[in-house]
Structure 1
Amino acid sequence: MSGVDDRELARLFRTALEGDERAYGDFLRITADLIRAWARRRAIAGLDPEDIVQETLLAIHVKRHTWRSDGPLAPWLYAIGRHKLVDALRRQGRYPRVEIGEVEDRLAAEEEETVRDWEIGRALATLTPGQRSVVTAISVEGRTIAEAARSLDMNETAVRVALHRGLAAIARRFGRD
């Protein structure tokens, strides 16, 4: 689920179902982000992913009593999203006309993004846990040295050293000295 823990999301939803409005707000915000990213990858020309997000959130609210609290939450969420996507496609018509040029860039970008994510994961897997957390914070998440140092409870010099060693290890491993 792209970095979101299903157990944590399920805990939020359970708490929300027990009446905690703040938990429900947090759950809806996180879920909206997840469904939005999912819908953007699947929507074709003529479909607004935001419409799918809104319809999915409404359906989750209406059907919240159907989720089995002892089961995983993500499959239930994405099943509702899939149904809303199919409904939107049906409303669009049996044979929507889509010019290949309209989706060509998006399809290429999705493939490139998937390969890039795999390559980044492969490179990070070669590092020690400390180097991995520093390289991830700075090179993947885009944090500054100072932000990474604060979030990792390290001093800035140690972050710089770990970053340098981590990037050097990746360069050696993948043949770019």
Structure 2
Amino acid sequence: MRAGLAGDEGAYARLLRELTPFLRTLARSGLARAGRSTAEAEDIVQDVLIAIHTRRSSWIPTEPLVPWVRAILKHKLIDFLRRRGTAGHVDVDSLAEVIATPADEPGIATRDVVKLAENLPAGQKAVIRAMFVDGHNTQETASALQMSEGAVRVSLHRGLAGLAKMLRGSI
């Protein structure tokens, strides 16, 4: 994205190509969670790609790209569900959890998280990996790591705080 903002059209096109499968996976997960057909994911992906393109100057180059992209996706998904109507209640909190999980897509977000998490204490690194790389929820992570759900939440909170501190330190 930085290179694209600096005028490198090839790098910008490559970014959009690499983001597309990641966005598609998240859009399908969000639609499935809302009880909608995943076939509608392409409409959301296109809306997100257009929003990224038209709002790319609003991204702050010293900040991580993936949270900015996920925020756009979250809002486009919610807008899509509102426009199309739903056959029941859409739990926005559960959609946020789906969007925060990269599922099976080993894209940009996974590489960023894995690289930064290497500097965390072992327990925090294991929780971050289980939740953000492997896509497990709190209960699954607790079971896999033989921890209580509360301990997982504390490790997650501390790990995210550590990652944020690392990011602030690199600016």
Provide the TM-score with structure 2 as the length reference: 0.49
Structure with the greater alpha carbon radius of gyration: 1
